[in-house]
Structure 1
Amino acid sequence: MDLPRIWTIRESSHRVHNPITADKLAALGQALHLAPGTRALDLASGTGEMLCTWARDHRVTGTGVDISTVFTEKARARAAEVGVADQVDFVHGDASGYVADEPVDLASCVGATWIGGGVAGTVELLGRSLRPGGLMLIGEPYWRQAPPAQDVIEGCHAGSRADFWMLPELIGHFGDLGYDVVEMVLADQDSWDRYQAAQWFNLRCWLDQNPDDELAAEVRAELATGPARYVQHTREYLGWGVFALMSR
């Protein structure tokens, strides 16, 4: 049980595995008015940057769960680096079935709603761990503008227009699920650039160091086509945001 190697190669230098900058992540933590001792559960926690920095800055405690052995070890190292290893722990496991032993104050899945088969399923999953009146965080892509053709859709790593909502549709969907949107932080194109372009550098550095690896051809193909596809499609058509929800 692990992520494919290409994921950890592609995002080897990333501390945040989504198109949100460290400044935006910090702004979100401040906007949520997190009280010291807030207990959090972060599903698909990656290398743990959100939990670690919020533990440091807001004294939250909690658990992160991720399927990647590489990312989980990096998360544990990050917790030690920022001095919060006694406040947060990171579990290697399948987040798609993970429910906290006791209700938490904050339950999140930032950028991996496939663990619940989509937004609705992930909201339901997180709700099983969340105390009444608690905060839920969902990170999710949305269409910045309607894709005009199938090649644009596929250039955004989607199969159909229905894979993502327009932003007003996404907000409405949260309401249909019985939740109020109480905060949000949206990526901008610079956020996307910092996330996406860093992948190209990671791929190139890895390729230079591992020219004979079995993944070399795949990495070379991605590096050869990825930048053009990104600036033509993803950068123009795909948005991304973290949405804070409270049950009605």
Structure 2
Amino acid sequence: MGRSTLVRLAHSDHPIASPLSDARVDDLLRRAVGGRASVLDLGCGDGTWLLRALRQHPGLTAVGVDTSDVGFEQTLAQAADAGVADRLTLVQGDAREYAGDAPFDAVLSVGAAYAFGGLAPTLDAARGHLAADGLLLLGDCFWPAPPTQAVLDGLGGASADEYLDLPGTVDLVTRHGWATVHGHVSTQEEWDDYEWAWTGAPARWAVENPDHPEAREVLAEVEKHRDGWLHGYRGGLGFVTLLLHPGRAAVAGG
């Protein structure tokens, strides 16, 4: 089974591909795009964040870029049903190379830093698309404590330098000239809801379709992921979402 198919199943019960509750997503979008005219999502997945933003904020236009177009068709159909399709553009391509119209009033990049090679290059890429008074909504993982070997193994052999701790993450953002104007650290409940949905939806599909040629493979992948979570990184991996303003460097410079 292709990874994209498994991810599509995994996110069917939790369409936001991050450990964030519905209420928190709505709040973050309100803070990031409320009253603004345009938003760009770098590493948009299937475009769920943008569809949600468009439904909530009339007049907003949105562009999403992702290397995969899995889920684009469904999201565009939902956008048409909601009457917002004329305000949504989804682009299949490398977000690092996107050179569309700029600047945008807001940029989103939640859980996509890996696509840029880390947090620092993600910040640099976002700045190139953002208006001077715009806002960046950035989400990434961090270590709530030095990771144990079990945590690293549970994440498929991650390295201890893959993420920083929370203070280090915010310090890095600050060193790159951004002002943090809001932040949210995902709770254990949000993480658990996300992981139970990620593993539960594909497992249900597999047991309800036992004769499907990929059912056994899906169930095996789900069990592998769940074991890595429950026996490894549960409680050992954090997620922070930061709302950032790019003007700190100008302020510091007087």
1:239 offset after TM fit, Å?
Answer: 1.0
Taking structure 1 as the reference length, what is the TM-score of the superposition?
0.88
- Which residue matches 1:39? 38
- Which residue matches 1:112? 112
Aligned: 1:72 with 2:72: yes
Aligned-partner Cα distance in 2 for 1:89–1:11: 21
3-state secondary structure, aligned to 1:132: strand
With over 3 angstroms needed to count, the CA separation of the structure-2 counterparts of 1:158 and 1:174, relative to structure 1, is farther
Aligned-partner Cα distance in 1 for 2:37–2:157: 36
Aligned-partner Cα distance in 2 for 1:236–1:67: 30
Taking only the aligned residue pairs, the percentage that are identical comes to 30
Aligned-partner Cα distance in 1 for 2:96–2:50: 19
User: Over residues 155-194 of structure 1, what are the superposed CA-to-partner deviations in whole Å (9 max), with x where a residue is unaligned?
Assistant: 1345211111111110001011111111112211111122
Aligned-partner Cα distance in 2 for 1:124–1:61: 23
- Which residue matches 1:130? 130
Aligned-partner Cα distance in 2 for 1:124–1:154: 30
Amino acid at match of 1:51: L
Structure 2 unmatched ranges of 5 or more? 249-254
3-state secondary structure, aligned to 1:7: helix
3-state secondary structure, aligned to 2:137: strand
Taking structure 2 as the reference length, what is the TM-score of the superposition?
0.86
Moved over 6 A (4+): none
- Which residue matches 2:219? 220
With over 3 angstroms needed to count, the CA separation of the structure-2 counterparts of 1:141 and 1:211, relative to structure 1, is farther
With over 3 angstroms needed to count, the CA separation of the structure-2 counterparts of 1:126 and 1:77, relative to structure 1, is same
User: Over residues 127-148 of structure 1, what are the superposed CA-to-partner deviations in whole Å (9 max), with x where a residue is unaligned?
Assistant: 111111211121101112222x
Amino acid at match of 1:220: L
Aligned-partner Cα distance in 2 for 1:97–1:191: 32
Backbone CA RMSD of aligned residues? 2.2
With over 3 angstroms needed to count, the CA separation of the structure-2 counterparts of 1:180 and 1:211, relative to structure 1, is farther
Aligned-partner Cα distance in 1 for 2:181–2:125: 20
Amino acid at match of 1:143: W
1:3 offset after TM fit, Å?
Answer: 6.2
3-state secondary structure, aligned to 1:86: helix
Structure 1 unmatched ranges of 5 or more? none
Aligned-partner Cα distance in 1 for 2:105–2:130: 6
Aligned-partner Cα distance in 2 for 1:133–1:158: 40
Amino acid at match of 1:197: W
3-state secondary structure, aligned to 1:161: coil
Aligned length: 244
Report if the CA contact (8 A) 2:44-2:65 is conserved: yes
Pairing of 1:84-95 with structure 2 (within 5 A): 84-95=84-95
Amino acid at match of 1:236: G
- Which residue matches 2:229? 230
